[in-house]
Structure 1
Amino acid sequence: MKKVFKPIAIAVGLLSGSCLSLVASADGDLGAAATNPVANLVQFRIQNQYAPESYNADSWSNATLMQMVAPLPSIADKFDALQGIVTRTTVPFVSTPKLDNGINRKNGLSDTQMQVFFVPEKSPKKTVWGIGPAFTFPTAGDNEFTGSGQWQAGPAAVAMVTPVPGVQLGALVFQQWDFHETRSDAKDVSILNVQPIIFKHFDGGWYIGGPDVPQTYNWETNDWTLALGGTVGRVGPVFGKPMQLYGGVYYNTENNDEQVSSEWIFKVNFGFLFPK
């Protein structure tokens, strides 16, 4: 049990200590922008997802994610119909669980994901939305445990409404199909990803939200992963620099036969914000 809870305690302690070091109240507009997937705000996030146990593998797993959100104003300004173009790129480094069949833990890069959203100039009142392509690059190489061994692509869309000040509701959705394999044993890929957008912002930069991980449906195996839970975060200055800090706890309700998947997930995010 100590092995399970020690990393969680360290992560929670770091998050709590950082939050307490905030020396000024957060800007409400900056907080709303940080949780808006297509805001005109450059962000660099370091995230860690720890799962103390996995379905069909009595062992822990971990994923460290480097995520960059980068608007492209110089390109968007050339098109009158566009409010902006926003790219979201995620590079994971994972540690897989030790399997019951004797296969030991594997560490390495996983596949890199990238979405590009074209945000129109005109949209319904209190609404923002965007569409574009989504890509997955097989940066795991020949490691069959950490990556798919497939180049993937598909459509992506995001929509978010602010019905009342401080409340954000919507979803970021993208579908991926494989189109070129890098390993002869690579499996076909057809996965739907649905990431809910549910946030309530409060004074002082604090906010609460729904799960900050995608819900996925695998069309090849007809299996869902449903991560239920929530996040608590704050946006504001840390040592004089604007940051987004949050922690989340999620529970995957789906045990899909012999598929290995995380059961409980504990997530911590340290995000650096670069407003204009």
Structure 2
Amino acid sequence: MLLGLMGGLCCAVSSSAQEAPASGAGASEQDLVKATQNPVANLISVPFQDNLDLGIGPFHRARNTLNIQPVIPVPLTERWLLVNRLILPLVWQPNAAADTGGTFGLGDTSATFFISPRKPGALIWGVGPALLLPTATADVLGTGKWSVGPSIVALLQPDPWTFGVLANNVWSAFGSGDRPAVNQLLLQYFINYNLPKGWYLTSAPILTANWKADSDAWVVPFGGGVGKVFKLGRQPLNGSVSAFWNAVRPDAAPDWQLRAQLSFLFPEGKPGQQAPPAPPH
């Protein structure tokens, strides 16, 4: 699906870039690469991230989640920036007790709001609230609870690297009385090594912990992939593909995850600057 589209786009654009005359596009791509890896950069983006989970449950089923993740930064003052990030998941969830059938629909929506300095030092950071909204169209696709908690992101970008971490923990505040309470952690570290012509190597696994679980609370993946910032006509895009193995997981969790992401980028001013407006992945 998105994985195949990504491969075709990257190959086509890579080929056309080699034929294009030198006009500063290479430098622009490198600036955009750094900006896409910075959760509070001057960059509006609309990522489409497709996650294919493999080996779920006793029948080794597959689950697919397409996350639509608009990121819109808004300058508050000359010193501070508000970065607004939504994640709207479209989920195909297989039946847990059968080898056929499943449920498709919208999952719970995540909303995160980071306050960040517009002109940070070597350490770039943001902090703010994280919300989990019970927008799921079926019980199996969501928690049925309104949940809230703190979120933080911090990163360093010593050329040609990016090292960072993003974390939040949410607790259920109210919602359906017959659904379990929510107390869950999301922790994502990201490591990128930037290569010439907009290419980069990346590792950005998402670790989760369900503190309400009786046992096997953690899902801990390891893996990585490759990506490239390129242009399709005048539209800057950021594409990447990755694979992750869940080294620690509950029995019902997937063995593997394949991730493909395509982001539409809308830089304002010069890419990579901190002045007016936005973030990673």
Q: Same fold (TM over 0.5)?
A: yes
Q: Please state how far the C-alpha of 1:263 moved relative to its aligned partner.
A: 1.6
Moved segments of 4+, more than 6 Å? none
Whole-Å separation in 1 of the counterparts to 2:131 and 2:35: 24
Q: Which amino acid aligns with 1:155?
A: P
Q: Please state how far the C-alpha of 1:226 moved relative to its aligned partner.
A: 0.8
Equivalent of 1:96 in 93, 105, 130: 93
Partner of 2:47: 45
Whole-Å separation in 2 of the counterparts to 1:109 and 1:13: 23
Change in 2 beyond 3 A, CA 1:179/1:250:
same
Whole-Å separation in 1 of the counterparts to 2:259 and 2:98: 28
Q: Give unpaired runs (5+ residues) of structure 2.
A: 18-25, 269-281
Whole-Å separation in 2 of the counterparts to 1:155 and 1:103: 39
Superposition map of 1:63-78 within 5 A: 63-73=65-75, 76-77=76-77
Whole-Å separation in 1 of the counterparts to 2:222 and 2:66: 20
Q: Secondary structure at the match of 1:52?
A: strand
* 2:96 paired with 1:115: no
Deviations 1:37-70 (A, max 9, x none): 1212100011111123214442111101111010
Superposition map of 1:227-238 within 5 A: 227-238=221-232
Deviations 1:208-234 (A, max 9, x none): 1113x4211111115101121102100
Partner of 2:129: 133
* 2:33 paired with 1:15: no
Say if 1:58 and 1:100, in contact at 8 Å, map to a contact too.
no
Partner of 1:220: 212
Say if 2:52 and 2:259, in contact at 8 Å, map to a contact too.
yes
Q: Give unpaired runs (5+ residues) of structure 1.
A: 1-9
Identity in percent: 29
Q: Please state how far the C-alpha of 1:104 moved relative to its aligned partner.
A: 4.0
Partner of 1:240: 234
Q: Which amino acid aligns with 1:39?
A: A
Say if 1:71 and 1:85, in contact at 8 Å, map to a contact too.
yes
Whole-Å separation in 1 of the counterparts to 2:162 and 2:79: 24
Q: Secondary structure at the match of 2:248?
A: coil
Partner of 2:64: 62
Equivalent of 2:254 in 262, 266, 269: 262
Q: Secondary structure at the match of 1:96?
A: strand
**Number of equivalent positions:** 255
Q: Please state how far the C-alpha of 1:100 moved relative to its aligned partner.
A: 2.5
Whole-Å separation in 1 of the counterparts to 2:150 and 2:223: 27
Work out which structure has the larger RCO, using CA pairs closer than 8 Å and 6 or more positions apart in sequence. 2
Question: What is the TM-score when the length of structure 1 is the normalising length?
Answer: 0.86
Q: Secondary structure at the match of 2:8?
A: helix
Q: Please state how far the C-alpha of 1:90 moved relative to its aligned partner.
A: 0.4
Change in 2 beyond 3 A, CA 1:261/1:139:
same
Q: Secondary structure at the match of 1:261?
A: coil
Partner of 2:150: 155
